[in-house]
Amino acid sequence: MSSLGETQTGIKHLEFVEALAVSTVSDLKRSFHQLLREVGPGRMIPTAYDTAWIARLGHLDEQLSQPALRWLSEHQLRDGSWGAATPFNYYDRIICTLAAMIALTKHGRRAQDRRRIDRGRWALERLVQRAPQGVMADPHGVMVGFEMIVPTLVAEAEMLGILQNHGMDFLGKSAEQRAVKLAKLQGFKINRFTTMAFSAEMLGADKQGMLEVENLQEANGSAGHSPSATAYFASEVCPGNAAALAYLKRIIYPDGGVPNLVPFDVFEQSWVLWNLALTGTLDPETFALCQAPLDFLEAAWRPGKGVALSEGYTPVDGDDTSVVYKLLTHFGRSVDLEAVLHYEREEYFGCYALEANPSVSVNLHMLGALREAGFEAQHPSVQKILRFLQSTQMAGTFWFDKWHSSPYYTSCHAAITCAGYADDLVRNAVDWILATQGADGAWGYYIPTAEETAYCLQALVLWRRQGGEVPLEVLQRGAAWLAENAQPPYPALWIGKCLYCPELVIRSTVLSALTLVAQE
């Protein structure tokens, strides 16, 4: 039996390297210990969209702009676009390509940058031509604020001569959607108390008056913990703002890239512990290592409201609140249930104030919190969530969600939450998971991935432990593939303003899944 390779960490934020083989529970435990020592502000792979906004800051700070420009030059995709290489997502590719082309046009200085812009223009034209059909064929996965941000980028690209008039095509229609939404927000001021601060760049050059400038920044200098929104603020709203530029200097990676969101310490630490908790009773050493992140999460809790995605982020949300409540309660910490019930709406549980549409995964995690709190399956609040989940199930089988591009994320979390509690709701989803395992043992909605395979293994093991029929051979084939394909980089499957990848969260999911199978 080969042992788990030791995790090697380099400069902060750089990719770690880990070799995994079919391992013993003790090997996996050691790797989890290393992970618990690494969790902190949040580790995420860079995104082209946010890096492009940093690259635009050449008139303010060359030390920020030049590394970001180099990163963009080095990460153009083969077809000329920018964005996540896999999975292919029209929204992600369009918004990343537009942002990168604008940055290179405004501050690129080399002839090869001009060639990259030309290749990007050709790629964007093909994307726009095919987008209506592609989006209709796969309507899930629209990026956060897409219809608000893209029209501002298109207008800027046309002004710079990058694009011709797009008034009648897919991009032009998004401008109409932006106008409708802005009309509804007339008289509304965007500040740090609203999630719209995260997408402040959607206001472009024409609607900056909607910003409550003096009350927009968080204590760390950011606008909504978003590098792109902060760069917009420092460049176009409050030029040269020292706190904003200081934030960007702290979070830029050595290679010039920046993530979609930083910090996200509550999000990262809670999900790492959530995945660990699935593996059952912890030994004293592991339990002791959990105490620091548990202390952190307990300190971040706001009575009556719960938590935000990060300790210093102003808007609290139902997703992080439900996950942290379940964790803290599971580990014997005392926090108020009223904070969870604060998110209850007439027909479902919400995530953020003013959200346009509910999230399936938020309601699943709320269901997990209520179950942890001792609510019986027949409790009215539980039944409300179950009715909502039943109404959103695709063909009575699986679920999509607005925060993740894979239905395996949502459907597997449904199976985990409902096993032994609301079996009838998820029985078809479990059958779908079993039926869609690849011949190689992996799972993946677009391509086989370690992340999705781990979700499926977690769900199937826990379903099996509740008496469900799951052949051991299915688990063993999945674990064998996962062990061989567990190393990063991982595809970006999570949905923000572009696709992103919270690396340590995924790593914890992989370790959790391998541990669960090794226990069988």
pLDDT digits (tens, 9 = 90+) for 218-276: 999 999 999 999 999 999 999 999 999 999 999 999 999 999 999 999 999 999 999 99
At position 217, the amino acid (one-letter code) is Q
18 is a domain residue: no
Q: What is the DSSP string of 91-148?
A: HHHHHHHHHHHHHHHHH--SHHHHHHHHHHHHHHHHHHHHHHHHHHHS---PPTTHHH
CATH of the domain at 365: 1.50.10.20
- Rounded CA-CA distance 247/244 in Å is 5
Q: Are residues 54 and 196 in the same domain?
A: yes
Q: Are residues 33 and 139 in the same domain?
A: no
Q: Are residues 35 and 57 in the same domain?
A: no
Please tell me the total count of domains within the chain.
2
From residue 489, how far is each of 37, 85, 86, 473, 506 by CA, in Å? 20, 11, 11, 28, 10
483 is a domain residue: yes
Q: Are residues 245 and 378 in the same domain?
A: no
Q: Is the dihedral of CA 106, 111, 112, 117 positive or negative?
A: positive
| Confidence (pTM) | 0.93
- Rounded CA-CA distance 417/393 in Å is 15
- Rounded CA-CA distance 27/23 in Å is 6
Q: Are residues 186 and 58 in the same domain?
A: yes
Distance in angstroms between the alpha carbons of the first and the last residue of the chain? 17
Range(s) of the domain holding residue 414: 25-43+262-519
Q: Are residues 314 and 421 in the same domain?
A: yes
293 is a domain residue: yes
- Rounded CA-CA distance 331/293 in Å is 12
Is the pLDDT assigned to residue 11 strictly greater than 60? no
451 is a domain residue: yes
505 Cβ contact list (under 8 Å, min separation 6) = 267, 268, 271, 272, 275
441 is a domain residue: yes
- Rounded CA-CA distance 396/353 in Å is 29
- Rounded CA-CA distance 351/157 in Å is 34
386 is a domain residue: yes
CATH of the domain at 112: 1.50.10.160
Is the pLDDT assigned to residue 174 strictly greater than 90? no
Q: Which of 222, 251, 280 is the last residue of a domain?
A: 251
Q: What is the pLDDT of residues 32-90, one digit of tens each?
A: 999 999 999 999 999 999 999 999 999 999 999 999 999 999 999 999 999 999 999 98
Q: Are residues 192 and 266 in the same domain?
A: no
